[in-house]
Copies of this chain bind each other. A is one copy, B any other.
Amino acid sequence: MENALGFQTTIDFYGCNTDKINSTEFIEDIMKTAAKKMNLTVVKSTVHSFSPIGVSGVLVIEESHLAIHTWPEFNYVALDFFTCNKAYELDEGIKWLKEMFEAEKMELSLEKRGNIKRAMAFKK
């Protein structure tokens, strides 16, 4: 049994295509396609365009959430992927996102959330 309730994967994409990552249509489309590639079930999606530049997109998925925030002026995208139950097979989805953003560099980190033993110690 895994010792965590949730898994939080954060990815930093550097050197991305300015125009693409400033487009709400592009961000919404690739979030949904990435979710499909990773076999995630989308519950709700919301995308917001910032003034003067930048996009925020969040998918609520049955498995938790996928959030993207873009800084077109820095060619940078922050992706945040939170899932419950297990670490998903993210490799294909992430590789595809890197290509879509035209990112030159990518940094990934994985954090376990919600220690099960600790949760049981505080269970009511």
Q: Chain A: residues with CB nearer than 8 A to chain B?
A: 5-6, 8, 10, 12, 14-15, 17-18, 43-44, 46, 48, 50, 56, 58, 60, 62, 64-65, 67, 69, 71, 74-76, 78, 80, 82, 84, 104-105, 109, 111, 113-116, 118-124
**Residues from chain B with Cβ under 8 Å of A62 in the complex:** 50
Interface of A, secondary structure class, is strand
Q: How far is the CB of A45 from chain B (nearest CB, A)?
A: 9
The answer to whether A48 and B60 touch across the interface, beta carbons within 8 angstroms, is: yes
A and B contact pairs by CB, cutoff 8 A, 26 listed: A6-B69, A8-B10, A10-B113, A14-B122, A15-B124, A44-B46, A44-B48, A46-B46, A46-B58, A46-B60, A56-B60, A56-B65, A58-B58, A58-B65, A65-B67, A65-B80, A67-B82, A69-B84, A71-B119, A74-B116, A74-B120, A75-B123, A80-B82, A105-B118, A105-B122, A109-B111
